[in-house]
Amino acid sequence: MRAGLAACGLWLVACAPQPVTPPTSTPILIEGGVVEGRVVRAGALQLALPSPTPWVARSGSTLLAAYPFQLLIYQDGLIQESQPLPGVPAFVRAKPLPLVGLEDRLFVPGLGTLPYKAKDALYTKEGVYWIDQQGLYLGRRLLAEGRFSFLAASERYVYAFGREALRLPDNLRVPLPAGVQAAVVQDDLYVLTSEGIYRLSPEGLQLGFRAGVYKGLETDGTYLYTLEAGRLRTLQLNLDTANRSEPQALTASLGVRPLLGQEVP
């Protein structure tokens, strides 16, 4: 009975009208797929969010959708939690562990708010890494001074990206191609620039390159995902095109089940 009431409560919260969020006229890249409007499609995962939001992130079976003052957490396409946020999101991270960046603080499910005004942040088993205009921190401890733009991590390393990358925990300075816009870390390091996608060794040696105009970079550990002219492109880790069927458009169809009784526009 209590389980049923809890599920009903989540249903009512998710059905409630969402605050106004910025328009999402272009596809948003997530691990394994894309979000367009309310529709999420990533491999076998297909669902419709209560309303569009640009703050969506995925890690395996976990999907986070952040709205002003509200965070929805899905598992295997089903809503599991709705948590209040103390503000409007600026970014959301699903991995290594869930985290939401707000204008003047961070929100970590299970930990609550942290008073760090961060440009980017990652929640790892070692703690929360974050950057601001002055440098890179782990919790309250300053690890390195400098101007960093964003963070990326694997189970082994955390990279802070600027004109070069700082690799932790060994504090190695890694050379980068000019103008890195995004990166993911596997056994190798993959970085996106305006020229294309580079495959680098963990020490920065170039192992491969794929020319093209791409937007965003994600990985599930087996494939790389990016957008080319608004369409999802799946690549092997050697940067060759993966032989996989991909959605050509994210319009509503009978294959997308509307969430919580709402119609997909």
Q: Considering only residues 216 and 257, tell me which one the structure prediction assigns the higher pLDDT.
A: 216
Fold of 175-242: Thrombin, subunit H (2.40.10)
Q: What is the pLDDT of residues 22-79, one digit of tens each?
A: 555 689 999 999 999 999 999 889 999 999 999 999 999 999 999 999 999 999 999 9
What would the 3-class secondary structure string for the chain be? CHHHHHHHHHHHHHHCCCCCCCCCCCCEEECCEEEECCEEEECCEEEECCCCCCEEEEECCEEEEEECCEEEEEECCEEEEEEECCCCEEEEECCCECEEEECCCEEECCCEEECCCCCEEEEECCEEEEECCCEEEECCEEEEECCCCEEEECCCCEEEECCCEEEECCCEEECCCCCCCEEEECCCEEEECCCEEEEECCCCCEEEEEECCCEEEEECCCCEEEEECCEEEEECCCCCECCCCCCCCCCCCCCCCCHHHCCCC
Is pLDDT above 80 for 261?
A: no
pTM of the model: 0.84
Q: Considering only residues 261 and 202, tell me which one the structure prediction assigns the higher pLDDT.
A: 202
Share of residues in the chain with pLDDT > 90 (%): 80
Range(s) of the chain covered by CATH 2.40.10.480: 175-242
Q: What is the pLDDT of residues 68-112, one digit of tens each?
A: 999 999 999 999 999 999 999 999 999 999 999 999 999 999 899
pLDDT given for residue 14 in this prediction: 45
Beta bridge partners of 71: 66, 83
| Whole-angstrom distance, CA of residue 197 vs CA of residue 105 | 32
pLDDT given for residue 197 in this prediction: 98
pLDDT given for residue 243 in this prediction: 78
